Amino acid sequence: MSYLANLKKYLKEQVVIIRVTKKELKDYQKSHSGCDNSFFSKLYKLSQNYRHHHIAYSMLRGKSYETIERPKKSNMPNIPLIQEIRDAHTEKNVCISAS
């Protein structure tokens, strides 16, 4: 399985986890009058993790960052983390000049 296929599979798994967490949060809110911050915290972390992996995946497929998203200045992504994800899912033994 290629590096991109592994990353795509990981993203699909994360989507399922996010959906389950959202459902758990809604069920909790229906059965309790208050809110549980642990659900919100978990959901925020999962969403941010997914966001950065999605940006890295899209960039590895050749899209520029500007076409992927246009965030506000207060919601900029962690560029070093995106680069780290890209490096982890890039083949290391590719010769660029071999065309």
What is the tens place of the pLDDT at every residue in 5-49? Answer: 899 999 999 999 999 999 988 888 888 876 778 888 999 999 999
CA 57 to CA 29: how far, in whole Å?
34
Distances (CA, A) of 47 to 13, 34, 98: 12, 23, 38
Question: Given pLDDT bands bounded at 50, 70 and 90, which one contains residue 3?
Answer: confident
Domain regions of the chain by residue span = 3-88
What's the rounded Cα separation, in Å, for the pair 90 and 61?
11
Q: How far apart are CA 40 and CA 46, in angstroms?
A: 10
Instruction: Give pLDDT tens digits for 69-86.
Output: 998 999 999 999 999 999
